[in-house]
Every structure is written in structure tokens, then in C-alpha cells.
Amino acid sequence: MKRAVPVLLLVAAAMLAASPFLIDAAPPEATMGLVQKIFYVHLPSAMIFMVSSIICGVASAIYLMGGRSPKADRVSVAAAELAIVFGLIMLVTGPLWGRKAWGVWWVWDARLTSSLVMWLLYWSFTLLRRFGGPGSETLSAGVGLFGMALVPFVYWSVNVWRTLHPMTSVVPRLPASMGIPLWWDVVAFMCLFAALFALRTRVEKLRTDLDAALADADV
């Protein structure tokens, strides 16, 4: 995995360097025009946000039900932190697009509100781990499970409630000229996510080793 990180980073960097040319070649959307190009960064970050949430939730479930595995704990911590990073990109790029397309920065509809709540949940996970003291691993694992439970709610919210946000059916119906840059960016973001995730998990492992070594030195 240690060797895979530079390779994944290089692949992601190469793909992201080529991405502006593909996005530029994609036709502007008929009603929204140029601002729709934000889609090619907004959707991949939203997808990674949900993937991170699922990874964090599964790792939290394994931690809670599988005998408090330290590996599962490390995975949940890394995934929660990456959910914050990619969630931030999603929550910043969305209003920039909405300001031009809808005329407002933000609406308190089901999709936007549930996404914000989910993002704040990962902040609570991370803050709990940082300041919660002993036993915060179990509490944060509970928060991680709740975060994963929100994923289907956030995903289907656009189809169930009336909202300004486009429905999930938009993506499968994309013409190839818009689909190619989108999936190119999704793969690039996935590679970047995998590299950052491996890096963050390794930092957490070494930090635990360092704490154990310091505790041994004190004894």
C-alpha cells in the first residue's frame, strides 16, 4: 500500500491535469450555460463524500461489533476526515452553481439541508476523537453509523421531495459529450481519494505506534 500511494497520486494528478481540456470540450448546458461546468467537480466530490461516509460507517460497525479492532478504528477516522474535505468541496461548489442557476446561494430544501447535517456529523465525529478523551472511539463509531444511515436519505431526497436540486435521473441520461468528462473526473477523484485515504490511515497507525512506544518508554 505504501508503494501504491505515489502511483495513485501520479495517476490522479495526470488525470486532473487533462481534465480541464475535456471539460472545456464538453458543450455548455442549454439553459444554464457555462456555470453548469461546476458539475464536473461538484458531483465527483459529492460521490466521494458518500463513499467516505459508507466506509466510515462500515468500519464503525466492524469496530463496534468486531471486538474493538484498532484497524477498523483507523479506517473510520481516515474516512470521516476525508468526508469533511470532499463534503466541503461539495458544499462550496454547489452554492456557487446555485447562485447563477437558481438565483440564490442556498435553499433549505431536503437535499441541501440533509447534506449539510451529514457533513456536520463528520465534524462531530472528528471533534469527538480530538477532544473526547478515553472512550471516544466507541462514541465516534456510533456517530459514524448514524452518518452512514443518512446516505440513502440524502441520495433519494431529490426524488422524494420537491426541490430545486436536479434529480438522480440526470446522470444516467447525460449525453456522451458530458458523460466522458464527468466519469473521467470521478475516476481521478477516486484515485486521489484512495491515495489520501491510504496516507491518512498510515498516519493514524504510526501515531498509535508512537503513543504505544512512548507509553512503554515511560514504564
Residue 186, interface with other proteins (CB under 8 A)?
A: no
Nearest Cα to Cα of residue 78 among 213, 193, 209: 193
Residue 13 CA to residue 187 CA, distance in Å, equals 11
For the bound state, the minimum distance from the C-beta of residue 178 to other proteins, rounded and expressed in Å, comes to: 15
Residue 182, interface with other proteins (CB under 8 A)?
A: no
Number of helices followed by number of strands (H, E) in the chain: 6, 0
Residue 66, interface with other proteins (CB under 8 A)?
A: no
Nearest Cα to Cα of residue 205 among 71, 90, 89: 71
Residue 146 CA to residue 180 CA, distance in Å, equals 34
Residue 165, interface with other proteins (CB under 8 A)?
A: no
Question: Interface mask (CB under 8 A) for other proteins, residues 15-34, using x and -?
Answer: -x----------------xx
C-alpha cell belonging to residue 96: 456557487
Nearest Cα to Cα of residue 117 among 91, 81, 86, 85: 91
Q: Using the Cα atoms of residue 165, residue 58, residue 211 and residue 215 in order, give the sign of their dihedral.
A: positive
Residue with cell 438565483: 103
Residue 215, interface with other proteins (CB under 8 A)?
A: no
Contact 194, 55 (CB under 8 A): no
54, 96, 116, 151: which one binds other proteins (CB under 8 A): 96
For the bound state, the minimum distance from the C-beta of residue 148 to other proteins, rounded and expressed in Å, comes to: 22
Residue 76, interface with other proteins (CB under 8 A)?
A: no
Residue 14, interface with other proteins (CB under 8 A)?
A: no
Residue 164, interface with other proteins (CB under 8 A)?
A: no
The residue (of 7 and 65) whose beta carbon lies closer to other proteins is 7
> Which residues in this chain contact other proteins in the complex, by CB under 8 A?
9, 16, 33-35, 37-38, 41-42, 45, 85, 88-89, 92-93, 96-97, 99-100, 192, 195-196, 199-200, 202-203, 206-207, 209-210, 213-214, 217
